[in-house]
Amino acid sequence: MPDQPLQPFAPPTALLEYLPDNISAGAIVEWALYIVFAFWALYTIIAIYHWLKYSHASWIAFPSIALHLFISFSLMAYALSGTLFI
């Protein structure tokens, strides 16, 4: 059992100091966003495929898909709005 008090660890932003000079933090955030959006697009396509294949006759299929796309694009716009200023 350690008898010393816990020491605060360095916040994650300190890791940015170790980046090479030719790579900016903004570029990393931007590429991370693209990767997340790519996974989101793949997942969404698969889910929509299931909705349309198995619940095409249901009245809730299209509103559900539309709501998902609307909320997702809003969140993406929010996430990207930050990167525009980096």
Partner 1 sequence: MKEFELEPGEHVVLQVRKHWFLFLGELLPFAIIAIIPFALPKILPFAPPLAQYATLFDYSTPTMRAGLGVWLLITWTSAWGAFTRYFLNAWILTNNRIVNIKQRRFFSREVSSLFLSRIQDVTTNVSGILQSLLGIGDIKAQTAAEDVEFIMHGIPRPEQMRDLILKYVPEGDSKPTGI
Name the site residues for partner 1 (rule: CB under 8 A).
Answer: 5-6, 8, 11-13, 25-26, 29, 32-33, 36, 40, 43-44, 46-47, 50-51, 54-58, 60, 64, 68, 71-72, 75-76, 78-86
Question: Cα 72–76–78 angle (5° rounding)?
Answer: 120
For the CA atoms of 40, 17, 24, 85, what is the dihedral angle to 10 degrees?
80
Of 1 and 84, nearer to partner 1 (C-beta) is 84
Structure tokens at 11: 């916040």
Q: How far is the CB of 68 from partner 1 (least distance, A)?
A: 5
Does an H or E element contain 81, and which? Answer: helix 61-83
Of 19 and 36, nearer to partner 1 (C-beta) is 36
